Every structure is written in C-alpha cells, then in structure tokens.
Amino acid sequence: MLTSVWRWLTDGGHWQGETGITHRLLEHLQYSGESLLIAALIALPIGALIGHTGKGKWIIAVANAFRAIPSLGLLFVVAMWFVSRLTGDSAYLVPTIIVLVILAIPPLLAGAYSGVSEVDPAARDAAYGMGMSGRQVLANVEVPCALPLIFSGVRSAALQIIATATIAAAISVGGLGRYLIDGLANSDYAQMAGGAILVTALALLVDGVLAVIQQLTVPGGLRTTSVSRRKQRAAAAAVESAHAA
C-alpha cells in the first residue's frame, strides 16, 4: 500500500497541469491565505479593542460558541444557500471563503483579546503615567506585548482554515482536498493517501513557519525572565486548547 502511495506522489505527471499537485497546492494556499487575511482584518482589531476596553466580552463568548458547529455542516448550509444565488465557479468559491473566514474568527478573536487583556497592568499603568493616551497605550504597549498570543491565535486559525479548505473539496472547489474526495469517488486509495500526506505536510509547514514568526515577535523586554515565559506559555496553552478543529 505504501509503495503505491509513494508511486502516486512521485509520478511527475501528477504534479503538472490544471489538476496537478502544484496547481492544487497553490489553490489551497490561495483560499487559505485570502480567508486568513479577511478574518484577521475583522477579528484582530475587535479582539484588541475588547481587551483594551474590557467591554463587549460577550462577543468572545458568542464566537466561542460557534466552535461547536460542525464545520462540515456550516460548509454545506452556506454552500446550499449560495448555490441558487450565484453562477459559475464563484457559486462554490464564495461560500468556501465565507466559511473559512467564519471558522478563523473565534481563535483570532480569543488570541487578540486575551493577549491585550493579559498585558502586565504595571506596564499599562507605566505607559499612562508617561502621559500616553488610551490609543497610544493600545498601539505602543498593549499590542506589542500581546503579539505572542495574537500569533498563537493566528496559528490556530491557519490550521483550522487549512483543514476546512480540505473538506471544502466536497462542495466542488479545488485545492488539495480534491485528491481525497476524488480518490474516494474512484476507489483510488493511493490518490487519497497521497493527498492526505500533502495536506498534512502543508499544515505542518505553515504551522512551523508561523511558530518561527511567533518567536520573533516576542518584544525584547519580555524575553528575559523564565517566569514570564512560563506565564505566556500557560496563556498560549489556554488559547490553543480552546481551538477546535
């Protein structure tokens, strides 16, 4: 079984053309990247603002409740609603992007909110004491200090998006999920497993790259003590464990 999967993956013909791995990989990255960007533009400012003001915490609770909705169900509901209203490729692409954005918002919100609200009160007070306005404190102190947790949310969101973009092949969009769905339809296990390996590799790679970026975003002043690092790790664990795939 392994050899047939290996043969499928290493067959040069499978990498070329409209249905080739290279093209499918780029499609997958494109949907995922666009959705992550849209979701981040919506969720990060709102999350940071809730953390800064302490108002509107119910939004976080509502977003977290959304995680209980099975992503497959959400995908089909949104796709069915759009299929009679849009034509051509966009009939499947638009609902896919919408679902990916919806699923990415809760972890992003949680990351930005807990990142900002858990900033050391002493640092916040010091900034106010130096005469900074609320906006300056948010932009120059709270957000930089919150970056590790914000990125923890971004990682969770990215993984959620890559996983769901795979399932989205069930509503006829491209991406690497096609190999899993088409392979199943044709009883071609080598193709399915090959696709699964590619998706897994993509998820691990994206998570690894984001993890490195996350490390680099830790502000210099926060890198010193092991106590604060342990605190951050515990907080990051809370955000990550709240993430449902």
Partner 1 sequence: MLSFIQDHWSDILSRAVEHAWLAGLPLVIGLLISLPLGWLARRASWLRVILVGGSSLLYTIPSLALFVLMPLIVKTNIVDPINVIIAMTIYTLALLVRTVADALGAVSEETTQAAIAMGYTPIRRFFGVELPLAVPVISAGLRVAAVSNVAIVSVAALLGIRQLGFYLTDGYQTTYWAEVWTGVVACLVLALIFDLVIQLITRLLTPWQKAAVS
Asked if residues 132 and 140 have their Cβ atoms less than 8 Å apart, the reply is: yes
Residues in 42-71 at the binding interface with partner 1, rule: CB under 8 A: 67-71
Cα–Cα distance measured from residue 18 to residue 178, given in angstroms and rounded to the nearest whole number: 12
Cα–Cα distance measured from residue 56 to residue 166, given in angstroms and rounded to the nearest whole number: 33
Q: Which one of the spans 55-63, 85-93, 155-163, 215-223 is the region binding partner 1 (CB under 8 A)? A: 155-163
Cα–Cα distance measured from residue 196 to residue 68, given in angstroms and rounded to the nearest whole number: 25
Cα–Cα distance measured from residue 158 to residue 42, given in angstroms and rounded to the nearest whole number: 15
Among 12, 13, 54, 73, binds partner 1 (CB under 8 A): 73
Nearer to partner 1, 123 or 184 (CB): 184
Size of the site for partner 1 (CB under 8 A): 45
Smallest separation (angstroms) from partner 1 to the CB of 151: 15
Using the rule CB under 8 A, is 109 a contact of partner 1? no
Among 38, 49, 132, 197, binds partner 1 (CB under 8 A): 197
Asked if residues 106 and 50 have their Cβ atoms less than 8 Å apart, the reply is: no
Using the rule CB under 8 A, is 184 a contact of partner 1? yes
Smallest separation (angstroms) from partner 1 to the CB of 15: 19
Nearer to partner 1, 39 or 141 (CB): 39
Token pair 């010193």: residue? 224
Smallest separation (angstroms) from partner 1 to the CB of 145: 22
Using the rule CB under 8 A, is 99 a contact of partner 1? no
Using the rule CB under 8 A, is 180 a contact of partner 1? yes
Binding site for partner 1 (CB under 8 A): 1-2, 5, 67-74, 76-77, 79-80, 83, 159, 162-163, 166-167, 170-171, 177, 180-181, 184, 189, 192-193, 195-197, 199-200, 203-204, 207, 234, 237, 240-242, 244-245
